[in-house]
Structure 1
Amino acid sequence: MAMLVYARLFKIFILYLLKIGSIAYAKPEWFTCEFEVAKCACRNISDHRVWADCSKRKLTRIPVFSSNVSGIDFSDNLVRVISNEFPKNVSYIDLSRNQIEALDGQPFRELYHLKTLNLQRNRINITLFNRSLFSDLHSLNELNLKGNIQNKFKPTIIHDVVFSELRSLQTLKIDGPTNVTFGEGFSYLTRLTTLDLSGITGICSFNVIYRNMFIHMQNLAYLDVSACDIVDIEANAFGLLPNLQHLDVSHNKHLGLASLPNITFNLNRTSIKVLKVSGITCLSGIGTKVRKHHLENLKGTNITEIYLEKNRIEQLEPGALRFMENTLTILSLGENKLTQGKYIIDYFFFKNIRVLNVSVQLRPAPYPESIFENCEDRTDVLNSNLEEIEDYNASFSQKIQITNLHSNPLYTFYIPKSLEVIYANVSRLYDIIPELGINASGLRELYFQDNFFYAWNGPVHNEYVEILDLSNNYCSYISKGFLRYAKGLKVLNLSKNNIGRSLSEDIDGNIFENTVSLEYLDLSQNNIRALPKTLFKNIRKLRKLDVHNNQISEWSASTDQLQNIEVINLQQNRLTTFDKETQCSFEHLFQISNLTIDLSGNKLRCSCENLEFLTWITQHKSHFVKFETYECSASDSRSFNFSSAASSLLTLKERCKSYLYVYIGFSVLAAFLISLIIGVLLVRNKWKIRYLIFKFKQRIEQQRGYSQNFQSQSTGYEYDAMISYSPRELKFVITDLIPHLEDETGLNLYIKDRDEPLGAPKGEPIMEAIQKSRRVICLITKSYLKSKWQDFELNIARMEAIEDRKDLHFVHLILFPEVNNCNVLNVISDLIRNKCFTEYPGEACAFEEFWKELGVLISKDTE
């Protein structure tokens, strides 16, 4: 039952988070009122009627209240004696947790309208009640006398003649002393439907429930005898109560499961709806087993809820649960030791079951109570003629279908359509979640947190589940198709796992692609470093997104489509800023959905580079939870204070402005210097660059098979020399140079006007000719020095000499007399310094010697 209450509270909490600010709570208007020396708090509850709260004021006496007071709360004071009369029209009196020792005389005289009287936790001796004590309480509906027994070993008598005067009483909460009896006088209480003897809220010490213990309370509908140290219950003790609907015998650990046949005896003759038998075994011991005969008396009842929690149950005999009728809506087996077995098939035969709780299995027994408890389970006396276990193969095939899907089987579970909730948290479930089907159109809530489902492969075929909790399952992998059929899912809790890597790899947004109804998503504590842009592309109904306690350093997930988002929890991550796109997206959501974001626990960057973000977040600080507590990173910790963000922003802007001109000037200067250096380098090395570009292109073409003549690395050359000359010197080349060097000496020369291919791009033949030649001979004249193309030929030949031939003597200059040596030195000084030149003679007598030396020079190998 505790798990059921917990789950319902969780659901209510989630719905509250989704509707923050939508509910307005009406607060009662209290005012101070005085009754003699007592100062109390009062509020009007109807016309001329007042409720007086005088609790927890250390008052030692009850004052005289005004006649218009109809409700009195005098609990938690120091009253010993009721000395004054109460107002005649009072309907509620609470005197609990005082020090009242006796109810002498008639303290409730003429209180004909009193409906509720609470005397819990005083020192009243019930044995001393006088016969006329309650004679005027004609309208009393509820009486609470619990916690008044000071010594449970001292005999206490419940006088039935005293209570017989309470003809309107419906609820009686009283201690259960040893040898308690409810005499014939209780038969006059025909409206009494609730009897609470629980030792949890009071004192209960009787050990046996006899067959006739409640025989005079035929109208009882609610009976609570939990935690009463009961060791035995006679058969038919509850079967004699035809109107009994709710029976609680929990936490009587001496009973054992062997007492179940007596507890349930003849319950089919009652109106039983709820049976609580939790904790009726010792805290420690070996596992127990629920057998068929334990529950066979439930056959024929209309029971709707049964609680068998905390009984160390490890197994159930197959078929035992089938003694419960199809009226069952809640079955709770939480906090036991359940191991899996064929009895699980019995769950699926309940046609109207709504909640199945098998959560919190194998929880350790409480320490040190389990060690020092004096307890021994009542055990079954089994005869040798036990029924044979029936064959469950047919039942298994009815409720679980196995289909061969590729190489893996597809398990389909056929669950009752009425089943709405399954609690299986802390149930020792250990495995991957494979592809499986759940045929249950009524299933709405699944709680599987705190188990060991370490990989979620799926998909799970069910479109009806609305709440799924898989938190704290040590999962490190979620497949992209796991939630493929989760179209009806509204609340999804995947926190406290390790699926951050799987999420970051989902760049197409497949994981949540089909969760179109999702409103609450918890991805906290999942070691998430980044979320892909399209992860939430189809979750248009999302209201709350929780990703706190991760390692996100940059928010990249798109939120434009989250038109209904109200809360995004990003606390305790590594965020320092939002980029412009994210700012625009959030700003749009601020206007249409009143979004609030929690960035607490992140270290924001508070510097000039992040000024735009700081300005933006300050403008929208009303949308950021705990804005005043935000902190800057360690390097910026003194520069910005979010508790006074506006003034800190102005200070930061002024400081950043003073540096702006420095940054601009430095940037311009740096750009100019860099450009100048690059320009100088380019000018000084332009020929080298052009040469290297040509070589690179040549290698690429060679790899593609386009060039067959790349011979720079070979020792054989097609030409002995390439002649570089100005077009004005063509006549000299034809009439002088060719006859002397080719005809007479037999050298093979490259003459561009003769040997250059027709239609070739200008420049490329020159480079190829240079590479095919043993030497380059340049005829340096005035016209040569003025020609750009001759300048090109000379410098490319020079680069060939430096980069490839590794010898400047590859290039040889013929300096004509008309050339000024100073001009030549300025252009090709390095060649002059290395004596890579010959002066053309000015006298005819020296021509023959000149051509002879030039021929020898060309023939000489430079390698």
Structure 2
Amino acid sequence: MVITTYLCSLSAHIIRMAIFSVSLQIALPLLVITNATLIKKGWDTCHFGSVECECQKVPDNLLKVDCSRRQLVKIPSLYSNVTWIDLSNNHIDNISVGFPKIVGYIDLSGNRIHHLDRKPFRGLYNLKSLNLEKNRINTSLMYKGLFADLHSLTKLNLKGNIQDQFKRTIIKDDVFSELISLQSLKIDGPTNVTFGKGFASLSRLQKLDLSGITGNCSFKRISKNMFLHMPRLIYVDVSACDILDIEEGAFGKLQYLEHLDVSHNKQLGFASLPNITHNLNNTSIKSLRCNEMNCLSGIGTKILKRHFENLKHTNISEIYFEKNRLEQLEPGALRLLPNTIDIISFGENKLTQGRYMIDFFFFRNIRVLNISVQLRPPPYPESIFETCAEKTDNFDSALKELHTPKECVKEYQASLNSFIYKSWWHGKIIGTIIVPKTLEVIYANMSRFYGIAPEFGINATGLREIYVQDNFFYSWNGPIYGVENIEIADVSNNYCSYISKSIMKYAIGLRILKASKNNIGKSLASDAEGEIFENTVSLEFLDLSYNNIFYLSTSMFKNMQKLRTLNLQNNQLSSWRVKVDHMKNMKYINLKQNKLTAFDKKSRVSFGNLFQLTNLTIDLSENQLLCSCDSKEFLEWITRHRKHFINFEYYECSSSSSHKFNFSDPDVSAMLLSKSCKSYQTIYIVSSIAAAFLSSIIIGITLVKNKWKIRYVVYKFKQRFRKHKGYFTNFQSGTPCYEYDAMISYSPKELSFVLTDVIPRLENGAGFKLYVKDRDEPVGTPFGETIMEAIQNSRRVVCLVTKSYLKSKLQDYELNMSRMEAIEDRGNLNFVHLILFPDVCNVSISIQTLDLVRQECFTEYPEEQCALDDFWERLRSIISKEFL
């Protein structure tokens, strides 16, 4: 199963490589053409026989010649004044033609040279740089005298010439001993490589590059005498050589050594560090690179005190331990590094938090701290199928108990107190982190930091740049004190959903802020006064892209006079209200991939003013621009200023647009839109007037038809806010009680009838309590309120309908309001009873009155005297009768 999986992975890898190879074959000619075009500047075409090259004149009538990538099979005959020759990437297989005697630079890399017969460099006394990289030269076949005339040669590159790593290759010291001026040697490192006594004559040799990254390197061991005859080396690179073992003190004899690179030797492990660093205090070491000196996969590794013990008395300034699966350092290990440390890099590891982190802040001169990319897994599938076994320590000094537990706690607490302490910040005592004054840059991106950014202080006067992107600081509370000198901050992709208004209160020196790929849209929308960025007066670059921002207030960037670039790409902005008039230095605003439909008039004026003062460009692509008569002014404006809009010709109208607009031909489109909108304008005006007229008629009819209901509702609404008397409900019995048994509604002409007939028969004779307005109406109360109170305080309303009654507006009011009371409150039209007198019984106008109530709710007043007693008896019965 494993074999099958491996074969599948291998097949997929081969396919990918094949695709890459084809793509490379297609891309390389294009790249060559592009490069050639770029190089053309200052160069002229020249010919050497049938060979066409590029030439450039230099002082003293000398010539530089570029014949690279010409598919040459042999070296052309060059002019005697040629001092610089590039013949790289051709098909030359031998050096048969001599070079000009004054030549100082020759590049023959990327050819097919097998042999260097007949002393091809004879007479080249002025040659300083010779590049024979990536040929097929066997150093074992080199002979004494090959480099005899290269008295001035300072740089020699023979990397990438070993074709068969299993074939024995020798570096002959007597051949290289002739290069008395050589300063830099780049050469492959064959198995069992040695540098014999002949190299002792290279007294100026300072740089030795054996790296397998740029060439072939396969030796497994570095003995303590490997560089014995190269005592003046300053730079040694033995990276990617598959080294298994380094003897103690192999580099300690190089008195002038400043730069040592043992990276990418995966099986050395941290256990080899004591041997590597042995006696480095006797050298001039400044930079040590130990990247990827552990296998790709495995449990986390740990740096112990003894690994750094030999560096304690050196003057090293840079140290790199990247890609080592490093998870922990023994507390105190970093303190063994000297105070000359300037740069520390532990990037691309798997560091977890621990006591060792306190040690970072004890360096006095540290300038750059890199603890970034702590989340990246090892490459697949190499990490699965690699055969690798790094050296491990026989013991872990961290496990030794040098102190009692109580003493350990005291030591830790003392260290912690020197790392974090309380200090006064603007009248408050705040927890403060001490950072070395010399620290300028912190790289902590992808470092698995998790939590909130609380209120705290940083004592870091020298800190200028901080990179904490790709972590999990999900809430930025703050404020953070002591950040006045920070100029660059990257807090992108931190899953932040909240940013307080005081987080950047003291970031007055911040020039570049990258806060993309978070979710702070709600926090920004709630900042109506622009308090979040109120104090960032030095900001020049602001990236808020991919933040789900749906609204920005007018004052959001009110104090950013120096802002040059604003990136708001891929948000949810549907309108633009931000004030920009004061941004006189603005160069670019990215509003791509939002939901903007247009700019309002105020925004157009603001941007127009900036267009006159600056070369401002705006990107509105992939928005939902509205193309209609409503946005005509915006479309005409953006057409006039289209040079200020990036990719303007590719803008598109939204699907909800009522008109078409071709942004690739905006002038014609704007003209057509203007004509179309004019033709529609008349229709819109007529339609609007007709609609308004029709609406007013409908509203008028509705009001007239429901005028009594409206009056009743208005009165009831007013009644809620004033105290009134009369009507109440007996909640114990559930039976409503009224002050009057009946209200008598009549016209003034029937007053005598009321006094002589109604009152005596119903009130005196039957014992009913009647409301008679001429008798019971309170003085000083508006008649409308008086009528409504009388209606509400009566069990019945009895209307004496005569001709004069029907013609009276007051009685019309009484009758209709009584009807509304019956419908809306009493729930029964029996509440109103009409007494129809003979003068209206045969008149058509009475039908309108009868329509107000049901037919059974009226009684005719008899003309015969004999029927009067029955009439009054029936009326008494109606008044006394209960109804639901």
Q: Structure 2 length as normaliser, TM-score?
A: 0.85
Residue 210 of structure 1 aligns with an amino acid whose one-letter code is: S
CA pair 238-782 structure 1, distance change in 2 beyond 3 A: same
Residue 587 (structure 1) aligns with:
608
Whether 1:220 aligns to 2:242 is no
Residue 458 of structure 2 aligns with an amino acid whose one-letter code is: I
What secondary structure is seen at the aligned counterpart in 1 of 2:474? strand
Distance 2:845 2:659 in 1: 67
Residue 291 (structure 1) aligns with:
304
Residue 328 (structure 1) aligns with:
341
Residue 682 (structure 1) aligns with:
703
Matching residue within 473, 493, 508 for 1:453: 473
What secondary structure is seen at the aligned counterpart in 2 of 1:133? coil
What secondary structure is seen at the aligned counterpart in 2 of 1:798? helix
Residue 418 (structure 2) aligns with:
398
- In the TM superposition, residue 306 of structure 1 has moved relative to its aligned partner by 0.8
Matching residue within 568, 586, 608 for 2:589: 568
- In the TM superposition, residue 686 of structure 1 has moved relative to its aligned partner by 1.4
Q: Conserved in 1, the CA contact under 8 Å of 2:832 and 2:853?
A: no
When structure 1 is superposed on structure 2, of 314-323 and 385-394 the one drifting more is 385-394
Distance 1:400 1:813 in 2: 99
- In the TM superposition, residue 636 of structure 1 has moved relative to its aligned partner by 4.7
Matching residue within 428, 440, 443 for 2:460: 440
When structure 1 is superposed on structure 2, of 500-509 and 440-449 the one drifting more is 500-509
Q: Conserved in 2, the CA contact under 8 Å of 1:721 and 1:858?
A: no
Whether 1:116 aligns to 2:116 is no
- In the TM superposition, residue 177 of structure 1 has moved relative to its aligned partner by 2.4
When structure 1 is superposed on structure 2, of 88-97 and 740-749 the one drifting more is 740-749
1:792-840 alpha-carbon deviations (Å, 9 max, x no partner): 2333233334444422661424547499823444566545965735458
Q: Conserved in 1, the CA contact under 8 Å of 2:330 and 2:398?
A: no
- In the TM superposition, residue 429 of structure 1 has moved relative to its aligned partner by 2.6
Whether 1:42 aligns to 2:59 is no
Distance 2:848 2:395 in 1: 121
CA pair 719-271 structure 1, distance change in 2 beyond 3 A: same
Q: Conserved in 2, the CA contact under 8 Å of 1:161 and 1:185?
A: yes
- In the TM superposition, residue 848 of structure 1 has moved relative to its aligned partner by 6.4
Distance 2:506 2:375 in 1: 32
When structure 1 is superposed on structure 2, of 451-460 and 671-680 the one drifting more is 451-460
Whether 1:668 aligns to 2:668 is no
Residue 320 of structure 2 aligns with an amino acid whose one-letter code is: Y
Matching residue within 719, 744, 750 for 1:698: 719
Residue 646 (structure 2) aligns with:
625
What secondary structure is seen at the aligned counterpart in 2 of 1:763? helix
Distance 2:665 2:859 in 1: 81
Residue 441 (structure 2) aligns with:
421
CA pair 45-652 structure 1, distance change in 2 beyond 3 A: farther
CA pair 191-606 structure 1, distance change in 2 beyond 3 A: same
Residue 72 (structure 1) aligns with:
85
Distance 2:372 2:97 in 1: 53
- In the TM superposition, residue 303 of structure 1 has moved relative to its aligned partner by 0.7
What secondary structure is seen at the aligned counterpart in 2 of 1:821? coil
Matching residue within 550, 561, 568 for 1:547: 568
CA pair 840-568 structure 1, distance change in 2 beyond 3 A: farther
Distance 2:768 2:658 in 1: 82
- In the TM superposition, residue 76 of structure 1 has moved relative to its aligned partner by 0.8
Residue 240 of structure 1 aligns with an amino acid whose one-letter code is: K
Whether 1:203 aligns to 2:216 is yes
Distance 1:776 1:210 in 2: 125
Q: Conserved in 1, the CA contact under 8 Å of 2:800 and 2:837?
A: yes
- In the TM superposition, residue 851 of structure 1 has moved relative to its aligned partner by 8.2
Matching residue within 757, 761, 783 for 2:778: 757
What secondary structure is seen at the aligned counterpart in 2 of 1:696? helix
**1:316-395 paired onto structure 2 within 5 Å:** 316-361=329-374, 363-382=376-395, 388-389=401-402, 391=408, 392-393=411-412, 394-395=414-415
Residue 272 (structure 2) aligns with:
259
Residue 71 (structure 2) aligns with:
58
Matching residue within 666, 673, 691 for 1:645: 666
- In the TM superposition, residue 270 of structure 1 has moved relative to its aligned partner by 1.6
Matching residue within 263, 268, 288 for 1:275: 288
- In the TM superposition, residue 854 of structure 1 has moved relative to its aligned partner by 8.4
Distance 2:205 2:130 in 1: 15
- In the TM superposition, residue 561 of structure 1 has moved relative to its aligned partner by 5.0
Distance 2:398 2:789 in 1: 110
CA pair 252-637 structure 1, distance change in 2 beyond 3 A: farther
CA pair 259-779 structure 1, distance change in 2 beyond 3 A: closer
Residue 454 of structure 1 aligns with an amino acid whose one-letter code is: Y
CA pair 301-573 structure 1, distance change in 2 beyond 3 A: same
1:468-525 alpha-carbon deviations (Å, 9 max, x no partner): 2232333333344433433333322232333334433444544334433333232333
Distance 2:460 2:124 in 1: 56
Residue 96 (structure 2) aligns with:
83
What secondary structure is seen at the aligned counterpart in 2 of 1:610? helix
Q: Conserved in 2, the CA contact under 8 Å of 1:178 and 1:205?
A: yes
Distance 2:366 2:61 in 1: 49
Distance 1:398 1:384 in 2: 25
**1:439-588 paired onto structure 2 within 5 Å:** 439-463=459-483, 464-560=485-581, 562-588=583-609
Q: Which ranges of structure 2 fall in alignment gaps of 5 or more residues?
A: 1-37
Residue 4 (structure 2) aligns with:
none
What secondary structure is seen at the aligned counterpart in 2 of 1:431? strand
Q: Structure 1 vs Structure 2: percent identity of aligned residues?
A: 58
- In the TM superposition, residue 846 of structure 1 has moved relative to its aligned partner by 7.4
Distance 1:364 1:745 in 2: 105
Root-mean-square deviation (Å): 3.5
Q: Conserved in 1, the CA contact under 8 Å of 2:727 and 2:738?
A: no
- In the TM superposition, residue 329 of structure 1 has moved relative to its aligned partner by 0.5
Q: Conserved in 1, the CA contact under 8 Å of 2:795 and 2:831?
A: no
When structure 1 is superposed on structure 2, of 129-138 and 315-324 the one drifting more is 129-138
- In the TM superposition, residue 47 of structure 1 has moved relative to its aligned partner by 6.5
Q: Conserved in 2, the CA contact under 8 Å of 1:570 and 1:598?
A: yes
Q: Which ranges of structure 1 fall in alignment gaps of 5 or more residues?
A: 1-24
Residue 461 of structure 2 aligns with an amino acid whose one-letter code is: S
Q: Conserved in 2, the CA contact under 8 Å of 1:781 and 1:819?
A: no
Distance 1:347 1:557 in 2: 43
When structure 1 is superposed on structure 2, of 143-152 and 283-292 the one drifting more is 283-292
- In the TM superposition, residue 669 of structure 1 has moved relative to its aligned partner by 1.7
1:307-347 alpha-carbon deviations (Å, 9 max, x no partner): 12222333222222222211100111222332322222221
CA pair 313-732 structure 1, distance change in 2 beyond 3 A: closer
Residue 470 of structure 2 aligns with an amino acid whose one-letter code is: D
